[in-house]
Chains A and B, each alone.
Chain A
Amino acid sequence: MSWPHKDLLDVTQLAKADALAILNAAASFQEINSRPVKKVPILKGKSVVLFFAEASTRTKTSFDVAGKRLSADTFALQKAGSSLSKGESLKDTVLTLQAMAPDAIVMRHNASGAAAFIAQRLDCAVINAGDGWHAHPTQALLDAFTLTRRWGSLEGRTVLILGDIAHSRVARSNIHLLRLLGANVRLCGPRTLLPHAVGALGVPVFSNLDEAVRGVDAVMCLRLQLERQQAGLLPDLREYSRRFGMNQARLAKAARNAVVLHPGPINRGLEIASDLADAPESLILDQVASGVAVRMALLHLYITRKEPKE
């Protein structure tokens, strides 16, 4: 299929039709994942560099599995032990990567804008696997995919994003994508974990979780970085979990059949009560499975786009 984008840097690049096309493609790849032999040859001979300048096991593994199931060769380049830890500039790293002539680079970096920075300088597809506090488009797409599988469509649904919005690329990407797909989005978190100009994000903001949760169809919990307490953004973590921890009692105030999501890894008992994380309302493991399918779809779309037309 024809695909208009060279890179996936942020969901803001995608039109609604693009996003739906990705979710559709993911649905067909999800089917492959349920076969006894979970491998197809469609990216045979293609190479994917997994460039993770910031530690991540889940996302990297998810992309690695996705690439291998499509028969692509995947190579990991991590910060520890690479020239990155010796102070090499990102530009020089990019030039090194270019010389390896990969078909796609999946990149995680702690600087906002890093994915756009390398994409401008590389000919191959760049897929942003998270840059700083800025964007995490593949997470947003897998979350949308998970909810679409559950609901059929996001139109008219209300999703609450809960927790550390200010420092969350997951939140920024989800706010945009969920709205693009027709959902209403609300935010809830302590003032210290909201961007000062939160109004610029264009969605309602709550400081009281019991009010925020009323009538919502899904609650998307964010991971809390425990250092936020030392940084003076929070009192003790017990207080955080009392005010902003998701649990069964609070979920009871949401719409019927409401679900909870979490991008992982979870701090059990902090962002989400342990029993709720394991309950049928929890889609956390569905998100992991969706992640592989969505990333297969993305690798396929972005790599085969460059195939010469017959």
Chain B
Amino acid sequence: MSQAELVVRSALPALDPENPVDLFVAKGRVLGLHPAGAYPAPEGAKVHDAQGLVLLPGLTDVHAHLREPGQEWKETIATGLAAAAKGGFVNVFCMANTDPVNDKASVTQFMLDKALATHPRGPRLFPVGALTVGLDGKELAPLEELKAAGCRAFSNDGRPVADSELFRRAMEYASDLGVPVIDHCEDPFLAPHAGINEGAVSARLGLRGAPTAGEAIQVARDCLLAQYLGVPVHLAHISCRQSVEIIRRAKAQGAPVTAETCPHYLALTEEACEGYDTAAKVNPPLRTKDDQLALLAALEDGTIDALATDHAPHAAHEKETPFDEAPNGISGFETALSVTWELAQRGDLSTRALVSAWCVRPAEIFGLPLNRFQEGDPADFLLFDPKARWKVTPQALVSKGKNTPLTGRELTGVVRACFVAGKNVL
């Protein structure tokens, strides 16, 4: 056995905070997790005092928008990964709706080069390749080429494939390559990118809303195809009860579907759009309290497997317009863990479900190495101060995207250290 190079002292395991532990790390991997003080730190080992801090496996975000290439004024891979690290993410999947679209190896390679140049030690970047050329939903992108270049999933996120035949073929072709497909579920006719739920608030404000059925119809299609073909599909940013119920039924019948939701759907409702607040404009839109309760229950029972941020940074001037004209999206990396941690503190979500949804299931679904704190696991972990309070302000965020409806809110919990393969990247 190799000698520990790093010892993290007296951390509180998220699932067993009564019993502080020491974490021993060597060569980027976990050597062992022991009761605090059980073993001395070997000579020469770096000791990191984690008194009062919670120890969590590193978070994996399977759904983010980093905007580079093409929209660097919103975010760059450098600023995006810095924000991700600050949020506790060790793995980040970036969507293909860049400019140019990530539908060829050169774009994938450019992204990976940028990540390596700016964040050589992590967080790790996993480009998501476009499912169709130009995200146009007309012909399949060169999926094998994209896989070879380093894409770890395929998705038409942002411009979902309406053509069910084409989507079926995409699922089949991707499954041959062993690469998962992520679908943004939205019937583009029924849920026209409205950015606000069709409901009481949209009726009052005089805005065209997106009905929950527009999402659920596409969720149903994907579940039916997954079951019929025996091919997995991962459903992105699920926002409503109807979708949850369809996924639950499909899973019970053995359909190979997995799903994610985002912190903002758990913490906010359509009321956040009152006053035409464009910071709360997101696609799918913020829904109702009832949808929130369904999503929380679904995370708890595993119907929804994972959490993801759908980090979607925009420049201030782009959101400073009338609601209809503003782009959809919330900047999410840096508030994600605090928001969900608070839900767990309030008892709306168990810590077990939180750890599973942020750390375990995303890695399992996308075949990434997973840290269960057993010998040989990657030393991907974070130290989280569960008592620290911070205020969400544009200055407090390192992402270029300051667009969050949580601006001005006090949140609980700060990531003090984010270790990727044994190195603190914060």
The chain A residues found within 8 Å of chain B, CB to CB, are 89-91, 109, 111-114, 116-117, 131-135, 169, 172, 195-201
Contact = CB atoms under 8 A, between A and B. Distances in A.
Contacts of B198: 196-197
A176 to B, nearest CB: 10
B373 interface: no
A288 B90 CA distance: 65
Q: Which of B199, B209, B276 has the most CB of A within 10 A?
A: B276
A113 B203 contact: no
B324 A200 contact: no
Nearest to A134: B206
A112 B317 contact: no
A117 B322 contact: yes
B327 to A, nearest CB: 13
Given A90-B322, A114-B322, A196-B211, A135 B275 contact: no
A131 B275 CA distance: 13
A195 B322 contact: no
Contacts of A201: 203-204
A15 B200 CA distance: 23
Contact of B321 (A90, A112, A195, A199): A90
A168 to B, nearest CB: 8
Interface of B: 198-209, 211, 275-276, 317, 320-325
A197 B200 contact: yes
A135 B205 CA distance: 8
Nearest to A171: B206
B203 A111 contact: no
A89 B316 CA distance: 13
Contacts of B205: 112-113, 134
Contact of A195 (B203, B275, B320): B203
B202 A197 contact: yes
A31 B34 CA distance: 90
A114 B205 CA distance: 11
Nearest to B213: A196
Given A113-B324, A169-B206, A200-B201, 17 more contacts: A89-B320, A90-B322, A112-B207, A112-B276, A113-B207, A113-B276, A113-B323, A117-B322, A131-B206, A133-B208, A135-B206, A197-B198, A197-B203, A198-B203, A200-B199, A200-B200, A201-B203
26 contacts: A90-B321, A111-B323, A111-B324, A112-B206, A112-B276, A113-B275, A113-B276, A113-B322, A116-B276, A117-B276, A132-B206, A133-B206, A133-B208, A172-B204, A172-B206, A195-B203, A196-B198, A196-B209, A197-B198, A197-B199, A197-B200, A197-B203, A198-B203, A199-B200, A200-B203, A200-B204
A132 B207 contact: yes
A116 to B, nearest CB: 6
A230 to B, nearest CB: 15
* CB-CB nearest 6 A-B residue pairs: A113-B276, A134-B206, A111-B322, A133-B206, A200-B200, A195-B203
Nearest to B270: A197
Contacts of A109: 322
B276 A91 contact: no
Nearest to B204: A200
A258 to B, nearest CB: 28
Nearest to A121: B320
A89 B322 CA distance: 10
Q: Which of B203, B205, B275, B324 has the most CB of A within 10 A?
A: B203
B297 to A, nearest CB: 24
B298 to A, nearest CB: 24
A133 B206 CA distance: 4
Nearest to A91: B320
Nearest to B200: A200
A136 to B, nearest CB: 10
A228 B272 CA distance: 30
Contacts of A131: 206
A112 B320 contact: no
A116 B320 CA distance: 12
A264 B211 CA distance: 32
Contacts of B206: 112, 131-135, 169, 172
Nearest to A116: B276
A90 B319 CA distance: 12
Given A135-B206, A200-B204, A117 B199 contact: no
A89 B321 contact: yes
Contacts of A198: 203
A213 B414 CA distance: 61
A195 B204 CA distance: 9
Nearest to B318: A89
B191 to A, nearest CB: 12
Q: Which of A91, A197, A201 has the most CB of B within 10 A?
A: A197
B317 A89 contact: yes
B206 to A, nearest CB: 3
Nearest to B275: A116
Contacts of B323: 111-113
A23 B218 CA distance: 51
B211 A117 contact: no
A109 B276 CA distance: 15
Q: Which of B320, B322, B324 has the most CB of A within 10 A?
A: B322
Contacts of B203: 195-198, 200-201
A199 B203 CA distance: 9
Contacts of B204: 172, 200-201
B187 to A, nearest CB: 14
Nearest to A110: B324
Nearest to A199: B200
A132 B209 CA distance: 14
Contact of A91 (B208, B211, B321): B321
A172 B211 CA distance: 21
Q: Which of A90, A117, A135 has the most CB of B within 10 A?
A: A117
Contact of A112 (B199, B200, B211, B322): B322
Nearest to A135: B206
B397 to A, nearest CB: 22
B96 to A, nearest CB: 27
A17 to B, nearest CB: 23
B324 A112 contact: yes
A95 to B, nearest CB: 11
B412 to A, nearest CB: 31
A80 B199 CA distance: 34
A83 B317 CA distance: 18
Contacts of A195: 202-203
B276 A196 contact: no
A89 B317 CA distance: 9
Nearest to A165: B203
Nearest to B320: A91
Contacts of B276: 112-113, 116-117
Nearest to A120: B275
